[in-house]
Structure 1
Amino acid sequence: MCNSVFRKSFILPLLFLFLLTATGLHEARAASESELRQQVENMQKVYRSLTSFSFDFRQLTRSGGRDRHGAGNSIFYRPASGSTGIMRWNYNEPDKQIILNDGKKLSVYTQKDKQVLVSSAAELESDITYSLFAGNRNLTDDFNVRPAESRFTTGGIRQDIQVAQLVPKQPHGQIKAVHVWFDGKSMIQKLVMEDHFDTLTELVFSNIKFNALPAGSAKTVEELVRLDLPPGTEVVEQ
């Protein structure tokens, strides 16, 4: 999913972006902290129950008056009940890049660099997008759930969308706060991550599909973990 993963071009400060097109502008419905906490817990339960989900995403990073854009698609697949699963992000913009977590290794392939960086998948445990979609830890163990800041609750918000702010309980090296937009079915629509240097990374999801891939399919696993690296690609173990 996020800042740690998403550099590696824009990498998921990487792993997690979904539809905010509305016919009108509305204020997000206010909810108490206890209501929001319960909704976030329910949302995480929904994602943990899935055998697969996929989506298209658009990414915008704003830092120092500069905007950087990215786009692509992502697939998560859980081969067996209780497994952490496979997560793959395919960037098509601004450059071709693949971020693959096969459950053991995290591989980041950048086409223009002709290089793939390989590290332990354990580093994803602190990634916010990974925690939202597939992590084994409860979000509410690591984050305080608070109402959204007012700057994130006006303009272009569908009336059925709820916004929650997640603030790390302990100082986090990369994340200052995360805002999560989700609908009544607990489908995450958008993430905005803010770091300690006021850099904002926004991920918006569309074409979301739940359980569209065949469950328990060895062929699907094989296809998802294949990188098909061209000859001459440098592999760097970290």
Structure 2
Amino acid sequence: MLHVFCLLLLAAWVCPAVHAESARLETVTAALQAPFQNQTKHNRIRDFQADFTQEAYLGSLDQVQTASGRVIVRLAPCQGSSAWFRWEYLLPDPQLIVSDGSTVWVYMPENRQVMESPMPAEGKAGTDNPLAFLTDLGNLNRQFAVTWGEPRQSPEGHYRLLLRPLQPSAYLEQLLLEVDKAVVDGQTGYPLRAATLFGSGGNRTTIRFSTPLLNQNPERALFHFTPPAGTEVLRPEQGAFGQ
């Protein structure tokens, strides 16, 4: 099985407090996006890798599945190009999702199968790509309306942002992101602590990141997949990521 990623205003006299909260929301949103922007900035995040744990709730089965592994992402070097990524699930079952920016491979060694499909062109994947948010964190406002999560901070004090797609999505109803409080306070680091993807049918998936490493310049070969001998290659008519 493939692992699968409102405030009420009371009265005019409270408007000053509302403006203060809005400014804080903008500060947190900017802290999340800024490290992935500004091509020439010396501390821009060009690539990252981290361990992750995943908890997926399947609404139709009322069942929770857990997994863990490692992710490596090389962000798009310029507008018009695509990010490269490698999601490697280690537990409970080895699986691999790899893209070199033009092709996506989803490899299931237990079944000795790999699904191969073209990567949707920039601007066509949208929020139908459940991984798109992770490779485009510098441009969230282009695809999402951003408000506070509820509650606004995690028990550890990290900030929580709720993102709703501006366009209808077949896979993603809303997205809850947890932003590192240290990054919001001005420290350098990877800003995303966790993400919860809410899908149709009550499905939701929470991914938590740990031990991130930034700008390690991972080898290009990590983002290409060559099927082992005896592997069946499946090429569905519709791309695996919402093409």
**Matched residues in 1 for 2:132 and 2:213: separation?**
17
RMSD between aligned residues: 2.5
Indicate whether 1:208 and 2:201 are aligned. Answer: no
**Matched residues in 1 for 2:153 and 2:201: separation?**
22
Query: Structure 1: where are the runs of 5+ without partners?
Result: 1-7, 14-30, 215-219
Larger radius of gyration: 2
Q: CA deviation at 1:34?
A: 4.6
Q: CA deviation at 1:125?
A: 4.1
* Match in the other structure for 1:193: 197
Q: CA deviation at 1:135?
A: 2.6
Q: CA deviation at 1:110?
A: 0.6
Which of 37, 57, 63 aligns to 2:58? It is 63
- Give 1:1-238 correspondences, 5 Å limit: 9-11=2-4, 13=5, 32-48=21-37, 49-64=44-59, 65-78=62-75, 80=77, 83-122=81-120, 124-126=125-127, 127-131=129-133, 133-135=134-136, 138-150=139-151, 153=153, 157-159=155-157, 161-183=158-180, 184-185=182-183, 187-213=191-217, 220-222=219-221, 224-238=222-236
Identify which of structures 1 and 2 has the higher relative contact order when contacts are C-alpha pairs closer than 8 Å and 6+ apart.
1
Amino acid at match of 1:171: P
**Matched residues in 1 for 2:131 and 2:30: separation?**
15
Q: 1:169 to 1:81 in 2, by over 3 A?
A: closer
Q: After superposition, what is the alpha-carbon deviation per residue over 1:127-166, rounded to whole angstroms, capped at 9, x for unaligned?
A: 35423x323982112211111124x856xx212x111100
**Matched residues in 2 for 1:71 and 1:124: separation?**
25
SS of equivalent residue, structure 1 residue 32: helix
Q: 1:47 to 1:136 in 2, by over 3 A?
A: closer
Q: After superposition, what is the alpha-carbon deviation per residue over 1:47-79, rounded to whole angstroms, capped at 9, x for unaligned?
A: 353222000111001123211011110101248
**Matched residues in 1 for 2:33 and 2:93: separation?**
31
2:50–2:212 Cα contact (<8 Å) kept: yes
Amino acid at match of 1:99: I
Amino acid at match of 2:25: L
1:52–1:78 Cα contact (<8 Å) kept: yes
1:37–1:145 Cα contact (<8 Å) kept: no
Amino acid at match of 2:195: L
Q: CA deviation at 1:201?
A: 0.7
Q: 1:189 to 1:34 in 2, by over 3 A?
A: same
SS of equivalent residue, structure 2 residue 25: helix
Amino acid at match of 1:134: T
2:173–2:200 Cα contact (<8 Å) kept: yes
2:130–2:171 Cα contact (<8 Å) kept: no
Amino acid at match of 2:109: Q
SS of equivalent residue, structure 1 residue 167: strand
Q: CA deviation at 1:88?
A: 0.5
Moved over 4 A (4+): 78-83
SS of equivalent residue, structure 2 residue 85: strand
Q: 1:145 to 1:128 in 2, by over 3 A?
A: farther
TM-score normalized by the length of structure 2: 0.73
Give the percent of matched residue pairs that are identical in Structure 1 and Structure 2.
23
